[in-house]
Amino acid sequence: MAAKTSVKLVKSVEGKSAARGVRVSTRKNPRKNKSLAIRTIIAAYPEASGAEVVDRVKKKFGLDVTANVVYMIKTKLNKEKELLGGGDFPATGNVIQAVRLAQQLVSTTGSVNHAVALLRALQSQSMTPQDR
């Protein structure tokens, strides 16, 4: 005797209906994706400790996570921030402005070599005798 099967319609994350058996992405649903839930809480409470994040994820999304996972995700987020906004650039949004200014400097001076020479001259002018 064959098992009775039924086809149920489930709503995907985007709100479209899909037949059962079709993969529905859980990447955008923090109730099913622990990493996303943790990132959501960290974005809302950036200064929260690992234990606080664990408690908030449990209360808001009903997911059990460990403090180790929270710290791992915090570390990854911090590394991404360093790559995007680290170094001498103050923030990610200002990088675009800095690139535009650099392009303007190169077009004004005529070449990259001239722009670099000008920047080095400015740097040496702004240095105190102790820095030289």
Cβ within 8 Å of residue 13, ≥6 positions away: 24, 25, 26, 27, 28, 29
Statement: residue 1 has pLDDT above 60: no
Share the mean pLDDT of the chain: 78
Q: What is the mean pLDDT of residues 113-118?
A: 90
**Do the Cβ atoms of 109 and 119 come closer than 8 Å?**
no
Statement: residue 24 has pLDDT above 90: no
What was the pLDDT predicted at 88?
54
Write down the residue that tokens 């740097």 correspond to.
Answer: 123
For 34-69, how does the pLDDT look when each residue is reduced to its tens digit (9 = 90+)?
Answer: 999 999 999 999 899 999 999 999 999 999 999 999
Q: Which of 18-22, 28-32, 37-41, 104-108 has the lowest mean pLDDT?
A: 18-22
Q: What is the mean pLDDT of residues 78-93?
A: 64
